[in-house]
Structure 1
Amino acid sequence: MHPRRSAQEVLLCDLCETVPLQSHCELCNINLCVNCVGKHLSDLSKRHNVVPFLQRKATPNYHKCPDHADKHCEFYCEKCDIPVCSTCVTSGKHKGHEISDILEKLSAKTESLQKDLEELETKIYPRYEEMVSNVQTEKAELERKYWKLTTDANEQGEILHREITAIVNQRKSAITEMKTKQLDALNKNTEEITQKMAELKQIMSDLKSILKSNDVSLTSTYKSRNCEFKTLPPKVRVTVPSLSAQKINKDQLNEMFGSLSPLSINTEHGDTMKSAEAVSSPPVKPLLDEPRVTATIDTGYSPLHSVGCLSEDQVWTCGYNKTMKLLNLQSALLTSIQTKSGRIPEDIAVTRDGDLVYTDYSNNTVNLIKNKQIQTVITLQGWRPGYVCCTGANDLLVIMISDRKQSKVVRYSGSTEKQSIQFDDQGCPLYSSGGYKYLSENRNLDICVADYTASAVVVVNQSGKLRFRHTGHPSNTEQSFNPRGITTDSQSHILTADPNNHRIYILDQDGQFLRYIHCDLYYPWGLCVDIRDNLFVAEEFTAKVKKIQYL
């Protein structure tokens, strides 16, 4: 190993490479021993500034002149747009050209790079993230509409009985094919956007490396690509076909069943973003000054604790018995299912495909109900599952408590654990030990937990890094804040139930308090929001679910 590279040896002079260094020439960026200082200063062909090594300043990494090997480029030719040395300046090659100091040029270029990096990090890249989130939301709506479309086809098939069975299958096959093509188009669109995002990440990483290196050559040769990325990628738009049904005519069953409208997959060219100062995102749906109850559902539980939206007019509910009920807005029972263990379900959630998920604290399982068949998808060891939610990517987030009263959030894809969130950057627990905890994924992919025991809403980003804790309205010092149910909407609002004060908190995505929802609520517990941002609130002791319009 070279002696100057060894961690076992002292640093040596760059000239003689035998004597320990003591000084440093800031202009030549070279380390010198006592004996070599005089020799170095005797070179009068360039300037020197020798200082004690420990007093050296961070110096630019001067580029060596390609035409004069013993010279460093300390100047910049504006006309040729290249760094040059003093010999280049005095030669005829750059005669009459505007020459500037390389440090001034470096400063200007560095400022330009900083602005590019800031715009990429704070304006452009977040818009790409927003586009991906929007596509995920549209996919969820697409799934819901296709589910309804398939249901309509089934109902029509039941009316026509056996004579129309073949046609029913034919239409359902066409629906599935259309759905597959549209989902493929949206997935491809997502991949294209994600690829662009990867490019942006690489550019931002390169810019950070350039800025950190202080390299004149890299800085001067940098070419901004911000304009290229200001034009957002094309946006795929899909239109779900409709089913037009006619009265039954046995001679014309195929026509009477109804035909599907043509498949529609359109691509919109991406918008070109305005300058950073002009970019703004006003809320699409402002909050109502006075929210109102639009429907009340009697569930019959004693008490009631959870609600999950299947559609705008159908909700799954569960309370303190083994039966989970699907009810409509008129309180009519559509379906009821008992837990596999015969014990009380801890919580329920509805997947993007319209299936029901429930957690069973008594036997440490998470279960999926599909076509009224119960399948255990997760069995835990040493941990008990609490509350659960389904994400935009169709993963499951599960709050779980250990026998030692530790708490964590775990992400699952099917039965596979993908992520565990338990501690902050300092190794401290993010969540309180034991007690009630409820969770929801926000539109910006934050994971929001209502920690009842800690009297706080704890929000981490999708990587599990703590963003903030909200512990109640700062002006409210008399009433305690003990959040229970939690949900989020299309505007990235965070809504959490405050049962002891009989109201709902609304926060923005950064934890700022916006307002309360009262609506004569009495001990609100479970919350969910449907695709149109209607809020469903499960009242614990009245066993009623209230549908509330607040946007």
Structure 2
Amino acid sequence: MATSTTAQDMMRCDICKNNEVQMHCDACLVNLCKLCVGEHFSKDLSKTHKIVDYKDKKSTPIFPQCASHSDSLCECFCKDCNIPLCLKCVISTDIHRNHNLSIISDILRFRKDAINKDFEELKETIIPTYQFIKSSVQLRLKQIELIYDNIKKDITKHGQDWHKEVDKCVNKLSSSVQEMKTKHINLLKEHQDDVNKRLGTIQDSVQQCKNLMESNDISLCLNYTSLNEEYRQLPQKPVGDIPVFTPLQITPSKFLDMFGNLTSLTFRKEKQGYSMKTEYSLPILKHLTEKPDFRASKIQIIDKSDEGISQDRSKKILISSRDKMQILEFDQVSLVKSITTETPNRVTDISVTNNGKLAYIVYNYDNKNISVNKMNESMENICLENWRYCDMYINSSGDLLVIMECYEEKQVKVVKYPYSNMYVKQTVQFDNENKPLYSSGICKCISENRNFDICVADFEAGAVVVVDQAGKLRFRYTGNALWNSPCKPKGISTDSQGYILTLDWKNSCIHIIDQDGQFLGYFELSFRKSYPLAMCTDGDDMFLAVGDRRSKNPSIYECKYLQEL
């Protein structure tokens, strides 16, 4: 019969193999029945056996054997020499006469306390930090792939406008980007492998600490060496300066020099690139509050600004109206500074990214084009030809998303332009069955989610239309049974959780759906039935709206709708 414990079998004596285990020798780590205790003693009379009930096994400390007196166990510890001693060593020699001696059980308690602190730090701080570093490197690898691919696309697109002779320049620069991309990715992968290797070593240390805390073997505890100081020395973080391609105007000569400049790839390692969990934590997860906290700011708007609202990282509120743009700097509810930029044509929209890129659109009815005004930078024109402007958004990559309508053909499309150069980078218009994604009409609003989905509030269709970054339809959201009236989405925004907020203009409420189109909830606007003018969400997941249309001097309304888990 097997000696191991199973669901059908009891623990058997290690000597007779038949009787149930009742006793245990802590010195020899042997399981015994009561009948075999004497036989176990007789096998080795020179050894000091510790027989206890099986339920109390490992309760007796296992003292180390004295190196000088083989028949004695060490029950003392010399702190000056850092070695265990038996009583004979203490009494019979003068070596340790004036040394600092302690009972070894006291030393064991202090050592186990230190091991427990190491265990807690490894489990609670060091391993989560390394896991965060690991996930950060994985995310950075994906970002690097996208960044380098976008650089190659920019170079390729710029080359299409040139003569065939320029293809040599394109191939040379593309090859340089590929080489730098390979070096960059290889460096990050090497860093990733190093982090994984160190993480494995740390996990081994965690297991060692757990084993030592469960063990009563003093020798093992005394021989334990803490590696936490080494683990606290986090790996240096490799940081690469991403090359930037700068296209130049075409001239008849010096094609390569005039085609564009590609900065060299450089690397450096930041010693303080990583920090422990207290400073370097995983993203904060939030959920919807039961009752949104809606309040009106005391900041007054200079005009009925029914075109657009946005907010940058420094908490500047940017508002566009029909003939001007207003920048509001504030401290909580106190207005610090207001800057107004007037234009001869209609200011139709405004947008700003987390890294401070800002643009506002000026629509020229006569020339059928729009001017993209970049603050403190150049102004560029986009010719719409037979199309007319609907809405604009600057995405996380700095690209300009413009939604426009062809009035004669009753078609609507989304066009993506690079922020630095206004050529057509992508067009989104039809689904897989070559049917229009969007209804005709200019009442459209656009945004981009954190997973790079393009989200459009289609007022005429009464739907939120979401496509992925390749332009493939993901879902349509047409509302929820909140009222006996259709949803009319007139504004749209996204937040840090990937939630999509759409302003139901007709019902004066905000619908909240997740990035897969599932309805999460809604909240009514405090100025219900007063038709808000514009909306956005800021970096702190606060909902901002300009309202209401009936007021001569509309205010900014704020709403806290998320809370941390």
Task: Report TM bin, short chain.
Answer: 0.5 to 0.7
Is structure 2 residue 59 aligned with structure 1 residue 58?
yes
Q: Answer yes or no: is 1:103 the counterpart of 2:111.
A: no
Q: TM-score, normalised on structure 2?
A: 0.51
Q: 1: CA distance between counterparts of 2:36 and 2:136?
A: 68
* AA aligned opposite 1:517: F
- Residue pair 1:308, 1:350 contacting (<8 A) in 2 also: no
Alignment partner of 1:516 out of 542, 557, 563: 542
Aligned to 1:127: 129
| Distance in structure 2 (CA, Å) of the matches to 1:351 and 1:88 | 70
Contact 1:486–1:497 (8 Å) recurs in 2: no
Q: Deviation digits for residues 212-260 of structure 1, max 9, x if unmatched?
A: 2233122111111112122221221211223344443323222221332
- The change in CA–CA distance for 1:356 and 1:64 in structure 2 (over 3 A counts) is farther
CA drift of 1:112 comes to 0.7
SS of 1:207 mapped into structure 2: helix
Name the CA distance, whole Å, in 1 between partners of 2:514 and 2:239.
34
Q: For 1:196 and 1:65, locate their aligned partners in 2 and report how far apart those are by CA, in whole Å.
A: 37
Q: What residue is the counterpart of 2:346 in the other structure? A: none
* Residue 254 (structure 1) aligns with: 256
Q: Is the CA contact (8 Å cut-off) linking 2:430 and 2:436 kept in structure 1?
A: no
Q: Are residues 1:191 and 2:193 paired?
A: yes
Q: How far apart, CA to CA, are the structure 2 residues paired with 1:211 and 1:73?
A: 20
Give yes or no for contact 1:150–1:172 (8 Å, CA) kept in 2.
yes
Correspondent of 2:202 among 200, 203, 210: 200
State the Cα deviation string for residues 255-314 of structure 1 (Å, max 9, x = none).
22133222212233456968x9xx54599x99776866643999xxxxx9xx99573333
Q: Deviations over 1:50-86 (max 9, x none)?
A: 8766577833343344555554433323233233344
Q: 1:262 to 1:101 in 2, by over 3 A?
A: same
Q: Measure the CA separation in 2 of the matches of 1:207 and 1:481.
A: 53
> Retained in 1: the 8 A contact 2:449–2:498?
no
Q: Does 1:311 align with 2:397?
A: yes
> Structure 2 unaligned runs (5+)?
284-310, 320-349, 352-359, 364-389, 404-410, 438-446, 456-466, 477-493, 502-508, 526-534, 549-565
1:340 aligned to which of 432, 436, 439: 432
Give the structure-1-normalised TM-score: 0.52
Determine if contact 2:236/2:274 at 8 Å carries over to the other structure: no
Does 2:511 align with 1:485?
Answer: no
1:220 matched to which residue of 2? Answer: 222
Deviations 1:480-516 (A, max 9, x none): 99851359xxxxxxxx975444699999xxxxxx763
Q: Distance in 1 between matches of 2:207 and 2:91?
A: 38
Q: Secondary structure at the match of 2:161?
A: helix
How far did 1:33 drift?
Answer: 4.2
Task: Give the root-mean-square deviation of aligned CA atoms.
Answer: 5.9
Q: Partner of 2:74 in structure 1?
A: 73
Aligned CA distance change for structure 1 residues 520 and 195 (closer, same or farther; 3 Å) = farther
Overall identity of the aligned pairs, in %: 22
Aligned equivalent of 2:184, options 182, 185, 190: 182
Contact 1:60 1:216 in 2 (8 A): yes
Unaligned runs of 5+ in 1: 299-303, 358-366, 377-384, 388-439, 443-447, 453-479, 488-495, 508-513, 523-551
Which protein is bigger by CA-based radius of gyration?
Answer: 2
Instruction: Count the aligned residue pairs.
Output: 392
Q: Against the structure 1 CA distance between its residues 52 and 159, is the aligned structure 2 distance closer, same or farther, given a 3 Å change threshold? A: closer
2: distance between equivalents of 1:71 and 1:506?
73
The answer to whether the Cα contact below 8 Å between 1:309 and 1:316 also exists between their aligned partners in 2 is: no
Distance 2:315 2:495 in 1: 26
In the aligned structure 1, how far is the partner of 2:436 from the partner of 2:162? 40
Residue deviations 1:408-449 (CA, integer Å, cap 9, x gap)? xxxxxxxxxxxxxxxxxxxxxxxxxxxxxxxx998xxxxx79
Range with bigger deviation, 24-33 or 145-154: 24-33
Which amino acid in the other structure matches residue 222 of structure 1? Y
The answer to whether the 8 Å contact 2:512/2:522 transfers is yes
Structure 2 partner of 1:529: none
Q: CA deviation at 1:101?
A: 1.8
Does the residue aligned with 1:519 lie in a helix, a strand or coil?
Answer: strand
